[in-house]
Amino acid sequence: MKLFLVKIFIFSISTFIIYNLYYQNRTRAAITVDNSKVYVWGDSQTVQGLDFEILRNKTNLEFYSMAVHGGGIYDFACFANLVPKNSKVIIGYSDTMFLRPEGLDYNKTRLDWNAIFYAGLSGYSISTLKNIVLKNYRPRVVFPKRNQNLYVGSSINFTQKEEIKKIFLLGSELSKVRIKYFHLYIEKLKEKGCSIIVLQIPKSDLLYQIESEVSFLNSLNLVKKSIIEISDEQKELNLEFSQSDFYDVTHLNQKGAKSLSVNLASFLNSQKISKEAKITFLTPSD
């Protein structure tokens, strides 16, 4: 019995160590701190809302994006752990990342035990944690330089209203857990000496209307309020978006993304992103 247990133990541990080494090696891309690098995270609103070609051309900065459709706060936690110390970071903030039902979250950035541990502490359910582990057991290359496919379209698809309403209703209970988890890793980024811009991605007026109809505007305000609370400063881009800038109720189209990116580039150029560790909450308009 003893011999059996010892052998099983040794074999399991060595398998775990070897696989973990391989995994870490495979998933940790060569990330170096460089003044010209900016690390970006967000969900589909960011994927569709920022045009990195415009940003690169207008700022001469290199953008490394981990923004992904359905990006969940767990993905953000992994991002925060991966980002080198003293980096420049842009976090695309949208309401959906706090309200999307857990099953729709991407949560596939990588297997990060630290992020999983704190997700548990923040109140994520055991089944969510289990799914996160199962989704991430196989290594992926992170930090790709994305050439996104921007949505093409000129007007909001109004038929989505009911669908969006349903999704928001489903997820409305989750926001507090996610806010707690999000804050934790924003603070961790700050502790790492990162200069952080939390960029609020614009949303259509229709979304405001839906939010008021399903009466969880308060909880959304709570999210926004909590970000303001942890921010060191709040700035505006003075941008106004009309329906013609949106592909649907939550995503900008090519025109809207261009508008946001040009203005963000101007902001970055004017700010020269300070090396000071601070959190800036950047909104399109008041």
CB of 22 to other proteins, least distance (A): 9
Of residues 15 and 238, the one with the C-beta less far from other proteins: 15
Rounded distance between C-alpha atoms, residue 95 and residue 231, angstroms: 17
Structure tokens, 88: 């420049």
CB of 251 to other proteins, least distance (A): 26
Question: What strands lie across the sheet with 195-200, from one edge to the other?
Answer: 62-65, 37-41, 88-93, 195-200, 278-283, 233-236
Of residues 5 and 152, the one with the C-beta less far from other proteins: 5
What 3-state class would DSSP assign to 270?
helix
Of residues 129 and 184, the one with the C-beta less far from other proteins: 129
- Helical residues (DSSP H) of the chain, grouped into ranges: 2-27, 44-49, 52-59, 73-82, 96-99, 113-122, 126-136, 161-171, 175-191, 205-213, 217-230, 254-271
Ramachandran assignment for 273, one of left (phi > 0), alpha (psi -120 to 50 degrees), beta (any other): left
List phi, psi (to 5°) of 92: -80, 115
Of residues 138 and 225, the one with the C-beta less far from other proteins: 138
Of residues 2 and 272, the one with the C-beta less far from other proteins: 2
Interior angle at CA 80, CA 267 and CA 28, nearest 5: 115
CB of 18 to other proteins, least distance (A): 9
Rounded distance between C-alpha atoms, residue 263 and residue 257, angstroms: 10
Of residues 12 and 57, the one with the C-beta less far from other proteins: 12
Whether the Cβ atoms of residue 181 and residue 265 lie closer than 8 Å to each other = no
Structure tokens, 191: 């502790």
CB of 166 to other proteins, least distance (A): 22
CB of 141 to other proteins, least distance (A): 15
Of residues 56 and 135, the one with the C-beta less far from other proteins: 135
CB of 108 to other proteins, least distance (A): 9
What 3-state class would DSSP assign to 222?
helix
List phi, psi (to 5°) of 119: -65, -40
Site residues (vs other proteins, CB under 8 A): 1, 3-4, 8, 11, 15, 19, 130-131, 133-135, 137-138
